[in-house]
Structures are given as C-alpha cells and as structure tokens.
Amino acid sequence: MNNKVDNSQYKTTIVIGASKLKQVLWYFTNVLFFINPLNPFSSLKVFLLRIFGAKVGKGVNIKPAVNVKFPWKLIVGDYVWIGEKVWIDNLGETVIGDHVCLSQGAMLLCGSHNYKAVTFDLIIEEIILEEGVWISANAIVTGGVRCRSHSVLTANSVATGDLEAYGIYQGNPAIKIRERVINSQR
C-alpha cells in the first residue's frame, strides 16, 4: 500500500481581515505585551486589544503570557478573566460573553484541517462562549463549538461539540458528567 501524498495541492486559504502592516504591528505588540510574561498590566493589554480592533468590555482581567492571534476577530464581554498562558487562536470570530473565566493554559482553537482530503484544507469556525462559562485549566475548545450559559469544561478536557447550559463536561472528547448548580449564598 502506497501512502505517499503529494502536498503540492495543500490549501491554507484564510481571510485574515487586516492589512499586512496591521498584522506585523500586532505580531510585535503580541510578543512584547501579551506573550511576554513580564507585562502584568491588564489595563494596557485591554487598551492594546481595542486599538487593534477587538471589542472588549469593562472589568476585563488579562494575566501574563496570553497569546491572541487576531484581535480584530475577538469580542470580549464584561468582567472576563483570562488566565496565564491562555491561547486564543482565533482564525475565526471568537465571542467571549460576560463573566467568563478562561483558566491557565486554556486554548480556544478556531482552526483545524480536513484530514480526509489530499489538500488538507484549512477549516475555520467560530467559537462562542456565552455568559458565565468556565473553561478550566489546560482545557481546549475547538472551532464550531458554542459553550452555552454557565457551562463548565473541566481541566484538561476537549470540547468538540456544543456544551449545554449549566452542564459540566469532562474528558476527550468532553461528555456531560453532571449539572452545574450555582448557590446564590456566599
């Protein structure tokens, strides 16, 4: 059996949505102020995201060593927490609702490939995290996924399909393990 594949037809077409100059400026801004763990100033990061076209709400906290691919394809609601080493690889639009928590090392990955095609075509799909969602440490959300209101993706889990509202999901691929009950008492 011959498994050789001619990769000369490999397709990586992507609509970036920004000029080359903007892309280059963002690259260096991202390296210097976001990925660089020596910049602890969340307010500066929020300001820079807005300058580059992101829609960012109030009370957003962005920790050190965060990587954002394309801020002009990013919408962040109010009172969002983005933890250390979060990677927002938003080749497609990414919407993060109010009161969302992205814990340390979480990844939002809008891009994938059609592994069945010889051309290995790039597939880009949006990610939507509704209000109150918690993506736990080192968890991954893949393109095309909608995490509904107050759902939880537990540590090291991978969401390849939509998460129901108030569901707690675990595993790879993540499955619902129980309901999230929020106690109004503190």
Whether the per-residue pLDDT at 145 is higher than 90: the answer is yes
Does the residue 5 lie in any domain? no
Minimum mean pLDDT among 2-11, 45-54, 103-112, 163-172: which range? 2-11
Domain containing residue 102: 19-174
3-state secondary structure string across the chain: CCCCCCHHHCCCCCCCCCCHHHHHHHHHHHHHHHHCCCCCCHHHHHHHHHHCCCEECCCCEECCCCEECCHHHEEECCCCEECCCCEEECCCCEEECCCCEECCCCEEECEEECCCCCCCCEEECCEEECCCCEECCCCEEECCCEECCCCEECCCCEECCCECCCEEEEECCEEEEEECCCCCCC
pLDDT at 186: 66
Q: How many domains, the chain?
A: 1
Does the residue 56 lie in any domain? yes
* Residue range 91-116: mean pLDDT, rounded: 96
| Domain at 73, CATH number | 2.160.10.10
Minimum mean pLDDT among 17-21, 48-52, 101-105, 115-119: which range? 115-119
Does the residue 184 lie in any domain? no
Does the residue 163 lie in any domain? yes
**In which band, very low, low, confident or very high, does the pLDDT at 14 lie, cut at 50, 70 and 90?**
confident
Question: What does the pLDDT look like over 20-79, one tens digit per residue?
Answer: 999 999 999 999 999 999 988 999 999 999 999 999 999 999 999 999 999 999 999 999
